[in-house]
Amino acid sequence: MKNYGKSVVGLVLAWFIFALTASARGVFNNGANRFGFAVAFAALTPILLFFLWFAASPRFRQFALSLNPRILTFAQAWRVVGATFVVLQAYRILPAIFALPAGYGDIAIGATAPFVAWKLADLGHRGSFILWQFLGISDLIIAVSLGITAGLRVVQDAPITAMTVLPLSLIPTFFVPLFTILHVICIAQAKAWKNAFLNTVQAKRLVNEPMATGF
């Protein structure tokens, strides 16, 4: 499992360097006032690779499910920096149609992440935990979707160009896929909690049955 941990850290670091380098070279700035193909590629590729690896490798799946769900959930607290979108919109650096939903959505997820990690990351609150994770994914999907269509919806609003150059370009190209993967792992873990609980109950029942027949 330690080898998987080192491999995953290395891959995450490599993807960050790729996103940073590509941003510095202007790869994501397409001049069309919207997220272009390069941004979509950077956002979707790590997610697709994760799903393929998770489905194909039992050992990697075991590693992912062994991670601490409280830490993975607490990591989403960083999304309070979505307040930056709201501030930039006020200065007309980002369009309101993108910045306000994406910003307030990230603030809501980031602000509630510590509570969810502390109180809801257990079998007893499994349903609420999974719901919150899905809400976090929905916020990311909505933000990226609005980034793709922002230039098509409102012509006279501020451009979204700032999201395709450093430092903001790292959000859709690195942090969005990273946070999405963390959400997916937490959902998979929560689904496994019920199976583990049922297996424990069944094992105890099998142990107790011989004892009961002995009397």
117 falls within a domain: yes
Percent of the chain with pLDDT over 90: 75
Query: Does residue 87 belong to any structural domain of this protein?
Result: yes
Q: Is residue 129 part of a domain?
A: yes
Task: Give residue-wise pLDDT tens across range 19-77.
Answer: 999 999 999 987 777 788 899 999 999 999 999 999 999 999 999 999 999 999 999 99
> How confident is the model over 149-159, as a mean pLDDT?
70
Distance CA 143, CA 206 (A): 50
Structure tokens at 118: 């502390």
In this predicted structure, the answer to whether residue 197 has a pLDDT above a threshold of 70 is no
Q: What's the pTM value of the predicted model, to 2 decimals?
A: 0.89
Tracing tokens 């069944």 back to the chain, one arrives at 202
Report whether pLDDT(133) > 60: yes
Would residue 212 count as lying in a domain?
no
What DSSP string describes 108-151?
HHHHHHHHIIIIISSGGGHHHHHHHHHHHHHHHHHHHHHHHHHH
Q: Is the pLDDT of residue 152 over 70?
A: no
Q: How many CB atoms lie within 10 A of CB 144?
A: 22
Indicate whether 201 pLDDT > 50: no
Domain membership of residue 101 (yes or no) is yes
CB 61 within 8 A of CB 103: no
Domain-located, residue 193: no
The residue ranges of DSSP E strands in the chain, in sequence order, are: none
At which residue do the structure tokens 């922002």 appear?
A: 150
Query: Which structural domain, as residue segments, surrounds residue 116?
Result: 2-188
> For 101-114, what is each residue's pLDDT tens digit?
999 999 999 999 99
Chain mean pLDDT for the chain: 89
Cα–Cα distance for residue pair 27/53, rounded to 1 Å: 27
Residue 196 lies in a domain: no
CA distances from 72 to 83, 115, 194 (A): 21, 13, 19
User: Once rounded to an integer, what is the mean pLDDT over residues 179-198?
Assistant: 87
Query: How many structural domains is the chain composed of?
Result: 1
Would you say residue 118 lies in a domain?
A: yes
